[in-house]
Amino acid sequence: MDAPTPAPAWLDTARHVLNYISSFGVFIPLIIGLRRWGSLSAPARIIVGYFGFWALEAVVDRWSRKVLHTNMYLFHVTVLVETWLLGWAYYQAYDLKPVRRVMPWVGAVFTLVALADAFWLEGLNHENLVARAVQVPLMIIMILLYFEQWVREMRLDNPWHNFMFTVSVGLSIYYAGSVMSYLNDTRNPLAVSVMGFIIDASYIINLVLMTGALWREAQPQAGESYGPKAA
């Protein structure tokens, strides 16, 4: 059997730099959202909460790596919280009642899958491969449903001026990158480094797009949105 191919030093360095940027870059949109909280729509406020969660996770993750020497349990927490927060944002943005009606039930089923993955299938000390395998297509379906709604409405305004449209583009890039990364052989150090690089790079692209969408949403008279302003 051939020996695993080691990852080059430059790739490991690049991966760690991207990881720091993707982890702590979430503080930028969080600050933007909190400063202009009163002018945000309901989906945008939920996305601010999404960034708030990831800001907290970034701190806990560094503490866990240093003190507990593991952060595997966080994978099981983040996949559940992330899916529910993004699903809640899309719930606020959808106009189809049948879709909105079924979403809580889909969320409940996914919660059971994630909990089974954490406590039975994989365990808290291992990666949540089952939950992630369910989450990625679920998120892509929600993104495509929003794009379908956008096309159906035949809106004339610039799609990049629409908060959830821009967010959906960013999320589609991130989850597509996540899917491609899981095709790598995780037993190979080079494959692991490439996988981490792809995930962090795609998330940073997503982060830039979501931050831009949130910044524009927070501007006075930013334009029409996709749902009522939150009270």
pTM equals 0.90
Distances (CA, A) of 172 to 54, 145, 179: 18, 12, 11
Q: Give the Cα separation of 145 and 152 in Å (integer).
A: 10
- The mean pLDDT of 191-195, rounded to a whole number, is 81
State mean pLDDT over 179-188: 62
Q: What is the pLDDT of residues 54-70, one digit of tens each?
A: 999 999 999 999 999 99
How many residues are listed for the chain in this entry?
A: 231
Give Dmax over CA atoms of the chain in angstroms: 63
- Residue 77 pLDDT more than 50? yes
Q: What is the pLDDT of residues 84-102, one digit of tens each?
A: 999 999 999 999 899 999 9
CA distance 129 to 181: 12
* Residue 159 binned pLDDT confidence (cut-offs 50, 70, 90): confident
**Residues paired with residue 41 on neighbouring β-strands, in sequence order:** 229
Query: Over the chain, what is the mean pLDDT?
Result: 89
Query: What pLDDT, on the 0 to 100 scale, is given for residue 4?
Result: 64
- pLDDT-derived band at 119, boundaries 50, 70, 90: very high
Distances (CA, A) of 104 to 83, 85, 128, 230: 12, 12, 22, 21
The pLDDT > 70 percentage for the chain reads: 90
What pLDDT, on a 0 to 100 scale, did the predictor assign at position 231? 46
Domain residue ranges of the chain, discontinuous segments joined by +: 9-217
> pLDDT (tens digit, 9 = 90+) per residue, 131-157?
999 999 999 999 999 999 998 887 777
